[in-house]
Structure 1
Amino acid sequence: MQLAAASGLMSLVLFIVAVAVLALLAGGFWMTSRVRYNEAPRPRPEEQPKLPPEGPVRELRENRESADVPVTAKGDRPLTPYELTNMDSRPSASKERPRWSRGSSGSFGGGGLGAH
């Protein structure tokens, strides 16, 4: 019976927890306002980016081919990644867009049914 009885100590603990939560929320708002005050001001309308005089930039679509990996002679040791240069790409002569196989999503785990 004594455990079930209302206790003034329990009410005091709940009140202190509620005050602590309110203090944390108020501190969060205070810190946010300090950070925002120290940030650079937002750009004015005249400082916003403008279109170039020749108009909007158009999209360029082209297929790219990667450079071939150098072939080592038979019996030579294989090249390490450090011996390979930055593999650049070049424009492709083909204008046809590469496609994935029919029924494939084109990625592993993409959720498609895959090729059947």
Structure 2
Amino acid sequence: MEINEFQELSTRTMPEGDKNGKANYALGVTGEGGEVADIIKKHLFHGHELNREKLIEELGDVMHYVSGLAKMFDISLEEITEYNLNKLKDRYPEGFSKERSINRVR
């Protein structure tokens, strides 16, 4: 599936005419991101087995909220991913390095 197709199909569950929709989706990003962080925390620090299926579910929820929020501001996921890749290429032209991370250009 192409990323913009995901965005279009994901809008099926977005509330219509909700004046608080942008806040709802922004808070959804942070809430679901917290659930992702909790899964990783429990795996790395509490000795839990990584629940891959649950991680996929929560990452999908993050993508849904990011996708919807972007749609509300008329931004495609393709535009976001291209922008991000270009930013990372500028920041780390030879790949990630601690030195370039500390002395970031962008």
Task: Please report the TM-score for the alignment, with normalisation by the length of structure 2.
Answer: 0.26
Which of 1 and 2 has higher RCO (CA within 8 Å, sep 6+)? Answer: 2
Which of the two has greater helix per residue?
Answer: 2
Larger Rg: 1
Structure having the larger proportion of residues in strand: 1
